[in-house]
Amino acid sequence: MIVLANDGISPAGKSKLENAGFTVITDHVEQSKLQAYINEQGVLALLVRSATTVRKNLIDACPSLRFIGRGGVGMDNIDVAYAREKGLTVANTPASSSQSVAELVVAQMFSLARSLYDSERQMPAKGASEFKSLKKKYAKGSELQGKTVGIVGFGRIGRALARYCMGMGMHVVCSDVQQVNTRLQLSIPSYGAIDVEVEKLPLEVLISRADFISLHIPKQADGSAVIGASELAKMKKGVFLINAARGGVIDEKALVEALDSGHVAGAALDVFENEPTPDADLLKHPKIALSPHIGAATVEAQERIGEELADLIIAELATA
């Protein structure tokens, strides 16, 4: 029984599968060669993250496949409904990486508020010769306490982020097209827990009120941006925008224009429209903090993801 972890799997997950009698291949196979490889090896389960797509043509061409697993939250790179219609099991690990993504967003909020992302670019080259001018340039940072953060998409990641933001003394509002539970339990070790209610607003109201906006929504089925020129124009002047969800959720061209005009003070992007080759000019923009799609890339999250995928495969296929 062969499992192809095409975008990798944690050592703990690999060991769990091997102990259950599976052969685990962790070599990455290029998309163009994936169909032939799966058929040649008789792959039973295919594990992917965001680098590999599993579309109808691949599903139809690989009769040995019985399980498709996505390490992480979104499954927009898999034709999920079609695969399930064909009798395949499709599963992801939505809870495993929530903490890691939320912590990256918090890190970027601090970075944006104090211009750390830009000062870290400038200090190596200019710190010794232009220290005073750089000190003046970055002397207008802001505190997070007391600011309003708008969380667009109030699922597991959005809820994890809300807990952190409340702990920092921020006012939290959320928006979601689904009916979601807006009650949160905040647990403080040695002190106990309290229940709080997060205010839910229509998107157009949230974007007009928030000082920081963090997106936690899937890519739209039609490929359109949720945040485009119209939405950016309705935001508060000086807003900070963070996308650790999916590339294409923000119209990147419109974002650059809003940054250049000064309406948006800064942005943090962990995901991009054209991964893995994002626009080079976008990457050079002085008001954008950047990371290469690492939201879930912590040791702890990868361990949880690997073990959860292993458990799902073992439950589905080990006794088959």
pLDDT band at residue 258 using 50, 70 and 90 as cut-offs: very high
What pLDDT, on a 0 to 100 scale, did the predictor assign at position 82?
A: 96
Which member of 246, 304, 307, 308 is catalytic? 246
Contact 5, 302 (CB under 8 A): no
Q: Known catalytic residue: 263?
A: no
By CB atoms closer than 10 A (0-12, 13-18, 19+), residue 112 is: buried
What pLDDT, on a 0 to 100 scale, did the predictor assign at position 221?
A: 79
What pLDDT, on a 0 to 100 scale, did the predictor assign at position 38?
A: 96
- Whether residue 72 has pLDDT greater than 60: yes
Q: Which of 73, 101, 57 is nearest to 298 (CA)?
A: 101
pLDDT band at residue 76 using 50, 70 and 90 as cut-offs: confident
- Whether residue 282 has pLDDT greater than 90: yes
Q: Known catalytic residue: 171?
A: no
What pLDDT, on a 0 to 100 scale, did the predictor assign at position 320?
A: 55
CA-CA distance, 151 to 184, in Å (whole number)? 14
Q: Regarding predicted confidence, which is higher, 189 or 287? A: 287
Direct distance between the N- and C-terminal alpha carbons of the chain, in angstroms, rounded to an integer = 10
pLDDT of 196-214, one tens digit each? 999 999 999 999 999 999 9
Query: How does the average pLDDT of the chain come out, rounded?
Result: 94
pLDDT of 29-60, one tens digit each? 999 999 999 999 999 999 998 889 999 999 99
Q: Which of 137, 140, 182, 141 is nearest to 163 (CA)?
A: 182
Q: What length is written for the chain?
A: 320
What pLDDT, on a 0 to 100 scale, did the predictor assign at position 188?
A: 83
Provide the CATH topology of domain 98-290. Rossmann fold (3.40.50)
Q: Domain 2-94+299-317 is classified in which CATH homologous superfamily?
A: NAD(P)-binding Rossmann-like Domain (3.40.50.720)
Which member of 130, 199, 275, 316 is catalytic? 275
Neighbouring CB atoms inside 10 A of 151's CB total 31
Q: Regarding predicted confidence, which is higher, 22 or 190? A: 22
Give the DSSP letter of residue 235.
S
What pLDDT, on a 0 to 100 scale, did the predictor assign at position 168?
A: 95
Q: Known catalytic residue: 204?
A: no
Give the DSSP letter of residue 8.
-
Would 2-94+299-317 and 98-290 be classified into the same CATH topology? yes
Mean pLDDT of 237-259: 97
Which member of 49, 156, 216, 293 is catalytic? 293
**Extents of the domains making up the chain:** 2-94+299-317, 98-290
- Whether residue 132 has pLDDT greater than 60: yes
- Count the alpha carbons within 13 Å of 151 in the hemisphere toward its beta carbon: 28
CA 209 to chain centre: 23
Mean pLDDT of 13-18: 95
- What's the pTM value of the predicted model, to 2 decimals? 0.87
By CB atoms closer than 10 A (0-12, 13-18, 19+), residue 169 is: exposed
